[in-house]
Structure 1
């Protein structure tokens, strides 16, 4: 392979300065059309590709955004390390998978937010770099990423707060879902409390439920807000208000993924209000295995609006987050902060929708209510 052409080669071939070549690719609107044509022709002849890192050195920008996300690839890497089911040229393995299992692992909440970031980044000419806490030293890794990007988005509990605050001193940072401990950081979230209040009110008013149980922990902060919304609705209906939620145990399911477990001797409520769709889907599997009818015996609801909730039977009633729009909002805030250093932090709380399906007792194709 021949040596790659440099900016100096292009400048010599086009008969212009290296500054003009650089400006042609960074700010073409500042260069005369005839000069741009000369530079582009020279670049094509020499098969020259501008270096993003070189452009970054010139103007302090990398045209890349970072996302520190949950790591859903650990299981995939483990399976890959175990080797293929058959050797080269061997028979193609056949996997029989139930329709309601196809979307349990993808796309999930974080995947949809990331997709929104990718769409908005592409529209603005940014690349997206992704990291996760599976790295041996996540703080060192994210600091390294922060040196390669113009702005960073972070999911809850993926990075120590002190590391996040340190990075925010160098580049714009947006916290996704969970309010940061540092109020100098921007934050994109949804109406977690109002969404769970609405779904609980629906169970009480429409389905006549009087004994309801919230399932899920109180960490991160968005989960606590959902539990607070649950309690708000019960208090308004003058029903018993639990002091704490049911925090389920965990198990490893047939697919090798972590799933929740319910105590075998648990007295069933009339309705489970779950902190996430993942928890709700796990509970529906447990109830099905025990021969308990949903929603005939107990109703189940979730929160997020992931694809699996539409496919499972009965389909899952849930609070739909605008996940893709959240990702787009993250990029909008980062791009604005990059263009305007020192800009005040921004907090966006986006609306949610109550999606009524069969798992709460509603008939198929029920209306979607904006909240």
Structure 2
């Protein structure tokens, strides 16, 4: 068997030091592009692959960041779609819904890990059956990023005693963990104020699952704007998991039968807003002619929908990048206090509220 090439062979062929070779594969942003290209070309020519275990032993680190995410189908329906089914087939769900919120945040985490020379390991709670399994995954990374409601707080706090943990999309709190979120309350307040002041609407119902920190803050923003205008707060019941489309149809049918259809639905997510727009269209109710519908997230689906969805756009990719950056900075230089960051949101005024398309 031929001798495996080493870091010394790559350094000699590229005409650089072994430290430069190491930096090329662990912290590429610190190496000049021309030098990095020379090292990578030498590695390709020799068939060299850097050893993750060796790098870890040398630095006392794994060079990897973990992300606990969740699968959309497993979380919402427990059914994996048929990959061969055509678009529009109910088994394939709604193709407008991709990429979803967590897909874009995860992309941001991936981009920052790549930029900083870290490997990203993605796990989900469905594949872990016990705290020991979770701890085993956490033990293979230098830091851990988690989406809301993926792991219990008590487990995250125990993990954080060994490696830094950052929560993604959890509103700023004092739970002792690092966190990055967006201005959920301010965004929904601004959107509700737009419906009131620009369109003169007075009967606006909030749609969204309470019990989730980010949705609670959005509800607070809606409530603040309604109370400031002297208007009554109204909510719509939350759909059971995996039943949003059917629940929206039943809810719309019930409102029409009872004569209680509001002037607007302020939905806590774009996914909810699109489901209700479909249900209203199926019932022959015009959006925005008879009712305004708004969302929150800023998914591509809302932009391509007709009418285009008025929403609050989160900087989803930047949220993921910021979370990964916090982790990597903490790995390099741990701080005594948790790092908490809140990113701004942007009101996207489109057609579904009654405004003209730009």
TM-score range, shorter chain: 0.7 to 0.9
Residues 180 and 341 in structure 2, CA contact (< 8 A), matched pair in contact too: yes
Q: TM-score, normalised by structure 2?
A: 0.82
For the aligned residue pairs, the C-alpha RMSD in angstroms reads: 3.3
* Paired position in structure 2 for 1:214: 206
Q: 1:43 to 1:250 in 2, by over 3 A?
A: closer
Runs of 4+ in structure 1 off by over 6 angstroms are 39-46
Residues 1:291 and 2:293 aligned together: no
Q: How does 1:116-265 map to 2 (within 5 A)?
A: 116-137=108-129, 139-179=131-171, 183-242=175-234, 245-250=235-240, 260-261=247-248, 262-263=250-251, 264-265=253-254
* Corresponding residue to 2:267 among 244, 260, 274: 274
What SS class does the counterpart of residue 135 from structure 2 fall into?
helix
Measure how far apart 1:102 and its partner are: 3.2
Instruction: Report which of the two has the higher share of helix.
Output: 2
Pick the aligned partner of 1:323 from 305, 316, 321.
Answer: 316
Secondary structure at the counterpart of residue 96 of structure 2 = coil
User: 2: CA distance between counterparts of 1:218 and 1:251?
Assistant: 13
Show CA shifts across 1:194-220 (max 9, x none).
100000000000111010100112121
- 2:307 matches 1:314: yes
Which is greater in Rg? Answer: 1
Give the whole-Å Cα distance in 2 for the aligned partners of 1:95 and 1:103.
Answer: 10
1:304 aligns with 2:303: no
Check whether the contact 2:302–2:309 (CA below 8 A) recurs between aligned residues: yes
CA gap 1:212/1:27 in 2 versus in 1, 3 angstroms = closer
| Superposed displacement of residue 251, structure 1 | 7.7
1:309–1:316 contact (8 Å) kept in structure 2: yes
Cα deviation digits, residues 88-107 of structure 1 (max 9, x gap): xxxxx765679x95321x11
Q: Which residue of 1 aligns with 2:80?
A: 78
Q: CA deviation at 1:73?
A: 5.7
The Cα shift of 1:181 comes to: 7.1
In the alignment, the residues of structure 1 paired with residue 53 and residue 296 of structure 2 have an alpha-carbon distance, to the nearest angstrom, of 41
Residue 50 of structure 1 corresponds to 50
User: How far did 1:343 drift?
Assistant: 4.1
Aligned partner of 2:353 in structure 1 is: 360
Change (3 A) 1:344 1:95: closer
Say if 2:144 and 2:163, in contact at 8 Å, map to a contact too: yes
Give 1:35's aligned residue: none
Distance in 2 (alpha carbons) for counterparts of 1:334 and 1:269: 44
* Distance 1:291-1:45 versus aligned 2 partners, 3 A rule: closer
Deviation by residue 1:133-168 (Cα, 9 ceiling, x = unmatched): 221416444322211111111001001111111111
Say which SS state the counterpart of residue 293 (structure 2) adopts.
Answer: strand
Q: CA deviation at 1:342?
A: 3.6
Say if 1:251 and 1:259, in contact at 8 Å, map to a contact too. Answer: no
SS at match of 2:356: coil
Equivalence for 2:65? 65
Match of 2:4 in 1: 5
Matched residue pairs, number? 332
Q: Measured at CA, do residues 134 and 127 of structure 1 come closer, stay the same or move farther in structure 2, by a change above 3 Å?
A: same
Gaps of 5+ in 2: 28-38
For 1:32, the equivalent position in structure 2 comes to none
Provide the C-alpha distance between the structure 1 equivalents of 2:315 and 2:41, rounded to a whole number of angstroms: 45
